[in-house]
Structure 1
Amino acid sequence: MCKGLSSLPSSCLEKAKGMRVKLSHLAELHHKQRVQDGKILQDLETLLNNKIGLQAFRGFLRSEFSEENLEFWLACEDYRVSSSNLHRTKASSIYSQFINPDAPLEVNLDAETREALLSATGSPCVETFDKAQQKIYSLMAKDSFPRFLRSHHCMDAIRAF
């Protein structure tokens, strides 16, 4: 018959208590780390600046056939940080890939924004795509990102941290 914990030597009980305290501390640290890692996926800006999060979000958008939004946003980021002597070439590529009505990855922009972009094709500057990029970012933040947070892509990314 089991005599319970009282039959154990006090030194064993003290060691067990110490181990329990250490284990609970480790569990608390692990939980805090998971919460911090989860925050990487709680806002779109942070997600886009995290390699694992970005890959997971790209996979999710691909599964929903809306990867063009992310690709456009990334192309605009690349354009924004490029040297001015590359702007004309990169702008032309962005127009043909994402803006023109027959573009292979045409993004969903309102007519006013699209017209403003098309009128700036001849003389692009560093801010040329800012408004369009912000609109696509807002679209992803309000539409795609909340669905991503409920997807298996998000859960896989959290586990990868």
Structure 2
Amino acid sequence: IHDSDGCSSSSHQSLKSTAKWATSLENLLEDPEGVKRFREFLKKEFSEENVLFWLACEDFKKLQDKKQMQEKAKEIYMTFLSNKASSQVNVEGQSRLNEKILEEPHPLMFQKLQDQIFNLMKYDSYSRFLKSDLFLKHKRTEEEEEDQPDAQTSAKRASRIYNT
């Protein structure tokens, strides 16, 4: 009994996840599975760097140690913002950024740029993601999983009734 109930509640959980993803980009980005699916989608659109930059900025804001902040700030700058960046994001004011800002890092130093990228994703990629095959297939899979445990539970109930 406990196994099927446990199974049932976990699939209720996952069903709620796609419903949550569909309500806001914030909810999507709070769920590791949502981030994974969104990254898959953005990779196909050649814009995965946007979510990677956003995630890197989130991690950066949590740092306390100044040395770690300097290293992470440089990493973010070199990966996403410099002219030679391997995964350059397209943000306004980028050309005015230079490496001097990396000497005195502070938790919100990338906030404006992060907000720009968030809005770009929210009003562009996110709406396409919700209509994409990738999202719709995941949602269907969850709905099918949602139906299965209930059928198993009633089958087990039936077998218990007839076997007593």
Give the counterpart of 1:158 among 134, 139, 155.
139
Change (3 A) 1:42 1:96: same
Superposition CA RMSD, Å:
2.3
Other-structure match for 2:148: none
Task: Answer yes or no: is the 8 Å Cα contact 1:41–1:154 preserved in 2.
Answer: no
Other-structure match for 1:26: none
Q: Secondary structure at the match of 1:40?
A: helix
Give the AA of the match of 1:58.
Answer: R
Q: How many residues align?
A: 130
Other-structure match for 1:75: 56
Task: Answer yes or no: is the 8 Å Cα contact 1:58–1:67 preserved in 2.
Answer: yes
CA distance in 1, matches of 2:79, 2:73: 10
Give the AA of the match of 1:108.
Answer: N
Give the counterpart of 1:99 among 62, 81, 98.
81
Q: Who wins on radius of gyration, i.e. which is larger?
A: 1
Give the drift of 1:144: 0.4
Change (3 A) 1:93 1:141: same
Other-structure match for 2:3: none
CA distance in 2, matches of 1:43, 1:117: 33
Give the AA of the match of 2:44.
Answer: S
Task: Answer yes or no: is the 8 Å Cα contact 1:41–1:53 preserved in 2.
Answer: no
CA distance in 1, matches of 2:113, 2:30: 19
Give the drift of 1:101: 1.1
Gapped regions of structure 1 (runs ≥ 5): 1-29
Give the counterpart of 2:43 among 50, 62, 75.
62
Gapped regions of structure 2 (runs ≥ 5): 1-10, 143-164
Other-structure match for 2:32: 51
Deviation per residue, 1:90-112 (Å, 9 max, x gap): 000000000001100000011x2
Give the drift of 1:37: 4.2
Change (3 A) 1:52 1:96: same
Q: Percent identity?
A: 35
